Amino acid sequence: MLDKGVITTTEDPQMFGHPKGLFYLFFAELWERFSFYGMRALLTLYMVQEIFKAIAERDTATAIVYASYGSLVYASTVIGGQISDKILGMRSSIFLGGILMAIGHFVLAIESDVAFFLALSLIVVGNGFFKPNISTFVGALYKEGDVRKDSGFTIFYMGINIGGFVAPLLCGWLAATYGWHYGFGLAGIGMLAGLIFFWSGIKKNVFGDKGMPPSQEIYEKRVLGIPQKTLIPIIAVLFVPVIAYLLSSWQQNYVSGIFKFIGFAVLVYLGYIMYSLDVVARKKLFMAVLITFFMTLFWGFHELSGSVITLFASRNVDLDGIMTASQTNALNSMFIIILAIPISLLWGYLSKNKLNPRTPYKFGLGLLLAGASFYILSISGASADENGMVPFAYLLVMYFIISIGELFMSPVGLSKITDLSPRNIVAFMMGVWFLSSAFAFQIVGFISEQLAIESTDANVGGLDTLSVYTDGFHLIALYSLGAGAIVLLFSPLMKKLMGNVH
Ligand code: GLN
């Protein structure tokens, strides 16, 4: 029996009180994130120790390629989401994206520099089709007003982080024991597993009629003599060498230039929209833009985990016998799994007592927590041994604190964006929201370049690098704490701007 007030999609099969399709999407996304984060855990060290090992600016090159990859992998979701909405539908988009990503991971298992950039590019294009559509698919399983939707998304976020937790451990272990390419290969197998789950869901008809193309006519419509359903995958594949070229020309850093232009264009467009809105809508949209801006800042510090923090872990953290530097990438997801339910219960409890802090306060606290987490890393130098190695506990505590910050901001922000944006630009604002992760990687690139260590010595680290990192972390802590304090200071004003949106 279902609770009173639950609106169900009666035509779709149910399981554990949720649409059965959720569990197929859960496992498909779990395995996709397994491949994504398994690969990400290896990426920076692989570049420093293999791809760029012969050049002294290898940290700089790695910082730029990592940032460009991260920016493009999130920016492509904006395009993938639009193409799915207008032409392909979610099912075909997810298949197309999943197949491209799986090929990308397998190409990474080939030992060659050309293969490396082509592989990253395949993942960029593939993720663009996969990631936004699998998330939208979750939403589509519930009818509007279904009270189970939020808990459906919480379950789904768990899947993401189970993948993000297990993959760095396994891929990191394989890479360290048998070689990098085994680690990358396992990521590819993970992606295939994700596709199989999705495919079996379709075979078992658990998705009902969801995720089909918006119009069969448009789907089949011929452009240049080729049906759109075939033309889009062809164009997607044609983009792969172009993106590979952009990624490989790190000296020119074209991607950074492109993102400066996109950022400018988005701001101009938003300015134009705001100008044409009435006062109330303008205030709300302004708030949505602010929320996205703070989220960008937060991810900009958070996403350092795969780059500078992984290098710090490999060069200055005493990991002896605990885990490898790649494996430390599992810690964030581990804490999310542990903390997600307690924190959502906390919001529920506070709500009941009318004490649930409003969004601006949560965002201010989230940035303060990010600052505190980097502060912990910045003082770790005081406990370093004579070889410049700091105790692992600092890294563990850092990840614990920043993960709480993530839970204060990320799940809250998404739903607020939908509430605050004018109806006709909600889809555009969703794109801007995803772009916030893309821009965050430009912050990651900037910081990682500042903290680059010029050396071709494979064993560089210890006392030579410790203060570079701890001084850098100190500055990041100050910026993040400062930003958090400003947000808290202006929270009463922001509260007014948000009107009745909590
Ligand atoms: N960890 C989350 C995911 O992988 C969010 C990452 C992000 O948006 N930067 O889906």
Phi, psi of 391 (to 5 degrees): -65, 145
Average pLDDT, the chain: 92
Is 239 in the same domain as 264? no
> What is the pLDDT averaged over residues 433-442?
93
Phi, psi of 223 (to 5 degrees): -125, 130
Grade residue 23 by pLDDT with cuts at 50, 70 and 90: very high
The domain containing residue 33 runs over which residues?
A: 14-252
CB 331 within 8 A of CB 406: no
pLDDT higher than threshold 50 for residue 1: no
**Tens-place pLDDT, residues 129-150:** 999 899 888 888 888 777 787 7
| Higher pLDDT among residues 167 and 144, named by residue | 167
- Going by alpha carbons, the residue nearest to atom 8 of ligand 1 is 437
Q: Which residue, 228, 252, 276, sits at the end of a domain? A: 252
Is 190 in the same domain as 213? yes
Q: What is the CATH number of the domain that holds 175?
A: 1.20.1250.20
Whether 258 maps to a domain, the answer reads: yes
**Tens-place pLDDT, residues 47-94:** 999 999 999 999 999 999 999 999 999 999 999 988 998 999 999 999
Residues within 6 Å of ligand 1 by CB: 33, 160, 299, 437
Is 244 in the same domain as 329? no
- Three-class HEC string of 143-163: CCCCCCHHHHHHHHHHHHHHH
Q: How far apart are CA 444 and CA 68, in angstroms?
A: 10
Is 228 in the same domain as 262? no
Q: Where are the beta strands (DSSP E) in 3-123?
A: 14-15, 18-19
Q: How far apart are CA 378 and CA 473, in angstroms?
A: 5
Is 368 in the same domain as 449? yes
Is 320 in the same domain as 416? yes
pTM for the model: 0.93
CA of 49 to the centre of ligand 1 (A): 26
Is 236 in the same domain as 259? no
Closest atom of ligand 1 to 299 CA is 9
Give the percent of the chain with pLDDT over 70: 98
Q: Which residue, 252, 267, 296, sits at the end of a domain? A: 252
CB 250 within 8 A of CB 64: yes
Helices (H), 307-388: 308-316, 330-352, 359-378
pLDDT of residue 12: 76
- Going by alpha carbons, the residue nearest to atom 10 of ligand 1 is 160
pLDDT of residue 499: 79
Grade residue 11 by pLDDT with cuts at 50, 70 and 90: low
Mutate to test the pocket of ligand 1, among 33, 40, 339 (most ligand atoms within 8 A of CB): 33
